[in-house]
Amino acid sequence: MSKKSTPARSGQDTDMLLACYRGMLRIRKVEQRLSKLFADKEIPGFIHLSIGQESVPVAISRHLRDTDTIAATHRGHGQALAKGIDLTGFVAEMMGREHGICRGRGGSMHIADAKLGMLGANGIVGGGISLATGSALAHKLAGNGDLAVCYFGDGALAEGIFHECLNLAALWSLPVLFACENNGWGEFSRTDRQFCGSLERLAGAFGVPYRYADGLDVIEVTDVAGTLIAQMREDRRPAVLECRVERFHGHYEGDPQKYRDPAEMALLAERDPLARARQALTAAGVDTARFEALEAEIEAEIDAAVAEARAAPIPDFAAASADVYAQA
Amino acid sequence: MEQLRFGQAIGKALADAMEADPKVILLGEDIGEAGGPFGVTRGLYQRFGAQRVFDFPISEAALVGTAAGAALSGLRPVAEIMFMDFCTLAMDAIVNQAAKAHFMFGGQTAVPIVVRAPHGGGVNAGAQHSQCLEAWFAHVPGLTVVCPATPADAYGLLRTAIASPDPVLYIENKALYARKGEFPDTPAAIPFGQARTARAGRDVTVVTYGAALYQAEAAATQAAEKGIDVEIIDLRSLQPWDEAGVLASLARTHRLVIFHEAVEAFGVGAEIAARMADVGFDELDAPIVRVGAPFMPTPYAPNLESAFLPDASRLLAAIERVMA
């Protein structure tokens, strides 16, 4: 199913690939820093890294407006970053600080930036699916051409809510893109031990357009997502996009992944969308100095965000406990 | 002042809210062309059209989840769960999504949804169509829970619920739909957390809500014949509930009975009893007594269900006990 990235052909293609690469690299570097901060106990709780899956949100977000909405998953750092979440607010939230985008009340699994149309990351597998579907209903009634993106993993394929919402979105013709980051693992178990269907056939059963894109190839995902999204803005119908990706880290950070075959793990480096993109860029004439400059620029941005987050105050319990209801 | 049926008052509140705010939409099974399983939404589909009144598939998890998602994107959906028992299928949307979004996201968002849920027995509908599950929801931070007993309160609380930025469980007892009551010429919204004194009395406070109010009134009439003057507090709101109002009544009567149709164990009455045993300890001249349904599923056969449902005679026995 996977194929090698086609080397960028024109200057325009190279610019786009470079932009995608930068977006993916930024997510990768941020998550690598989160991993370090978690190991150093500067981030509490659970975090679920999307290293290896960066191509999907980067590609999709290239076609989104600020007013389009997204429902993110528990493995949704990349989804939030690609939508444009402020990095300092993001890091501060991970670190449980008052200046976190959710004032330290949500954390990794509940991160949201409402002004960017984020319906929230979700600690419940499949929990965001109906939220995105409902958001699509709001878009449709508003008649504004916006759409909702529902990110989910293959681990949600057996959740009833997915089947309910696929039906509803088709029945009512709602502009929601069901975007499956299929990493082959539902938590600690292989997908083929959890789901015996096929997402393509499931979409077909409801008459929903389905497209597959190789998640190792960010350009392919960008093209396929672009086609689907352009069509959705026209016909206000749902669509399903499935992308095969790899989960480099464990289900949660610190998961030793003893359930995974070492031989398969050894092959992961070959299945890295960033490495593929870099190869293609190198072939197109992008030199090492350019890559190093990109890395330095991103690391500096992350350093600044982490420093600011560290300096931020911890949240006040009284203020948090007084804000359970929106009604003052 | 005209007479209106309880179900009609709910329908009028929905219509008036939809008239006042184009963001109010209705989602529910059979609520559109069919007019609703209990006729509450009759005429609304014809009046407001298919872009405001949505016949939802039998798909309760998606029903409430979609309502919550639409609310996060600016609408004010009112979702009807056909029988409150079916809330079990929508619990993730209610408890994990709608109830928590405002808090989890640091106050950035609100989820202004109303979930209308008919509860209550008395129609031999059996164990999966009769339950009073309000205590579950009152236990979840972020949710508001109301349960009106009169047409005027049904209207006023629903208008407040729809205008609220927070998710509200609006619980309506099926047995009340056809019941007529006084309805003001200019009905007003009723704030959450304010109980109503349904009957003033000196000797014992009975706290109740929903359809149980009418059994309480019957018991109070019987008690009066025995020289016991009962004060009835109709809570109307369960979360938040009017602790100050109940305490003020207890401070007058010094005796407290809590009466509801829901199963007594771990019910709404347990919370009220615990709070009054704490903040009202010095006022009490007798133990606080609860009267609710026994700890069993709602049975089907008419004689079994009659024995199951808390009634005026059981309440009267409790009143006499605290007066002894």
Average pLDDT of the residues in B125-139: 97
Boundary of a domain, candidates B155, B183, B211: B183
Which of A245-254, B111-120, B196-205, B277-286 has the least mean pLDDT?
A: A245-254
Boundary of a domain, candidates B131, B161, B183: B183
Average pLDDT of the residues in A100-127: 97
Boundary of a domain, candidates B141, B158, B183: B183
A159 near A73, Cβ under 8 Å? no
Tell me the C-alpha distance between A80 and A28, whole Å. Answer: 13
Give residue A10's pLDDT band: very low, low, confident or very high (50, 70, 90). Answer: confident
Same domain assignment for residues B156 and B275: no
pLDDT of the residue at B1: 80
Tell me the ipTM for this assembly: 0.96
User: What residues of A are in contact with residue B25 (Cβ under 8 Å)?
Assistant: 141
Question: How many Cβ atoms from other residues are within 10 Å of residue B8's Cβ?
Answer: 20
Could B142 and A161 be called an inter-chain contact, meaning their C-beta atoms sit closer than 8 Å? no
How many structural domains does chain B have? 2
Residue B189 resides in a domain: no
Domain housing B208: 196-323
Same domain assignment for residues B207 and B175: no
Same domain assignment for residues B212 and B297: yes
Nearest to A157 by CA among A195, A107, A201: A195
Could A69 and B96 be called an inter-chain contact, meaning their C-beta atoms sit closer than 8 Å? no
List the single best residue of B73, B92, B169 to mutate versus A (max A Cβ within 10 A).
B73
Same domain assignment for residues B112 and B41: yes
Using CA coordinates, name the residue in chain B closest to A100.
B106
Same domain assignment for residues B52 and B158: yes
pLDDT of the residue at A163: 98
Residue B285 resides in a domain: yes
Cα A174 → chain centroid = 21
Q: Which residues of chain A from 95 to 114 reach within 8 Å of chain B, CB to CB?
A: 100-106, 110, 112-114
B286–chain A nearest CA distance, Å: 35
Average pLDDT of the residues in B65-82: 98
Specify the DSSP element, H or E, that contains A320: helix A317-321
User: What residues of A are in contact with residue B64 (Cβ under 8 Å)?
Assistant: 130
Average pLDDT of the residues in A268-282: 96
Q: Is B224 a residue whose pLDDT tops 90? A: yes
Give catalytic residues of B, as residue numbers: 60, 129
A301–chain B nearest CA distance, Å: 24
Could A127 and B69 be called an inter-chain contact, meaning their C-beta atoms sit closer than 8 Å? no
Same domain assignment for residues B200 and B167: no
A149 near A226, Cβ under 8 Å? no
Same domain assignment for residues B119 and B216: no
Residue B317 resides in a domain: yes
Q: Which two tokens stand for residue A76?
A: 């949704």
Average pLDDT of the residues in B236-251: 98
Could B166 and A103 be called an inter-chain contact, meaning their C-beta atoms sit closer than 8 Å? no
Same domain assignment for residues B174 and B299: no
Same domain assignment for residues B44 and B174: yes
Domains recognised in chain A with CATH numbers: 11-305 (3.40.50.970)
CATH at B23? 3.40.50.970
Q: Which residues of chain A from 126 to 165 reach within 8 Å of chain B, CB to CB?
A: 127, 129-139, 141-142, 148, 160-161, 164-165
- Give chain B as a 3 state SS string: CEEEEHHHHHHHHHHHHHHHCCCEEEEECCCCCCCCCCCCCCCHHHHHCCCCEEECCCCHHHHHHHHHHHHHCCCEEEEECCCHHHHHHHHHHHHHHHCCHHHHCCCCCCCCCEEEEEECCCCCCCCCCCCCCHHHHHCCCCCEEECCCCHHHHHHHHHHHHHCCCCEEEEEEHHHCCCEEEECCCCCCCCCCCCEEEECCCCEEEEECCCHHHHHHHHHHHHHHCCCCEEEEECCEEECCCHHHHHHHHHHHCCEEEEEEEECCCCHHHHHHHHHHHHCHHHCCCCCEEEEECCCCCCCCHHHHHHHCCCHHHHHHHHHHHHC
Same domain assignment for residues B170 and B236: no
Residue B191 resides in a domain: no
Residue B253 resides in a domain: yes
Same domain assignment for residues B154 and B105: yes
Q: Helix, strand, or coil here: B112?
A: coil
A13–chain B nearest CA distance, Å: 35
Residue B75 resides in a domain: yes
CATH at B235? 3.40.50.920
Residue B261 resides in a domain: yes
Q: Is A219 at the interface with chain B, CB within 8 A?
A: no
